């Protein structure tokens, strides 16, 4: 089933996406000429990786009735100074003290099945077209 996302340009360097009944707002930082009123599109890309890992940790713990109040996911990125592109993403799952040691490898495996990461490792085909008028 095909899904459609509608992109609009509300002013300045803001770009909004309407998808599944939500409006996802983006802007460029002030140093790039934007207002800094919302995350930049690339920030949302990174957040989608980290929050996808987070939901898998949450599901894993909930299914085993492990409290998550002291759990967290921390994602760090390293950029290549020459290419300015991210060359490494590290995800650390911070587990609560009561987390059973026997589940440590299993929670890592759960995060490895994140659909965002899977799409990066096995990317879809991209097709771009331009249409003038309606």
The model's pTM is 0.90
pLDDT tens-digit map of 4-23: 999 999 999 999 999 999 99
22 plus 78 within the same structural domain: no
25 plus 66 within the same structural domain: no
69 plus 14 within the same structural domain: no
Residue 126: inside a domain: no
The predicted model gives 18-42 an average pLDDT of: 97
Cα 92 to Cα 19, 64, 71, distances in angstroms: 30, 20, 11
pLDDT tens-digit map of 42-85: 999 999 999 999 999 999 999 999 999 999 999 999 999 999 99
- Whether residue 1 is predicted with pLDDT greater than 90 in this model: the reply is no
- Which domain range does residue 87 map to? 41-118
Residue 129: inside a domain: no
């Amino acid at each position: 089933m095909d899904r459609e996302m509608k992109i609009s340009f509300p002013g300045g360097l803001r770009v909004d996406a309407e998808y599944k009944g939500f409006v996802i707002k983006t802007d460029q930082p002030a140093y790039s000429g934007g207002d800094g009123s919302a995350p930049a599109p690339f920030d949302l890309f990174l957040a989608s990786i980290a929050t996808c890992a987070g939901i898998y940790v949450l599901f894993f713990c909930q299914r085993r009735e492990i409290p998550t109040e002291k759990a967290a996911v921390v994602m760090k990125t390293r950029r290549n100074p020459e290419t300015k592109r991210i060359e490494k993403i590290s995800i650390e799952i911070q587990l609560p003290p009561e987390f059973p040691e026997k589940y440590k490898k299993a929670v890592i495996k759960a995060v490895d099945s994140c659909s965002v990461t899977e799409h990066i490792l096995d990317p879809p085909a991209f097709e771009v077209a331009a249409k003038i008028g309606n």
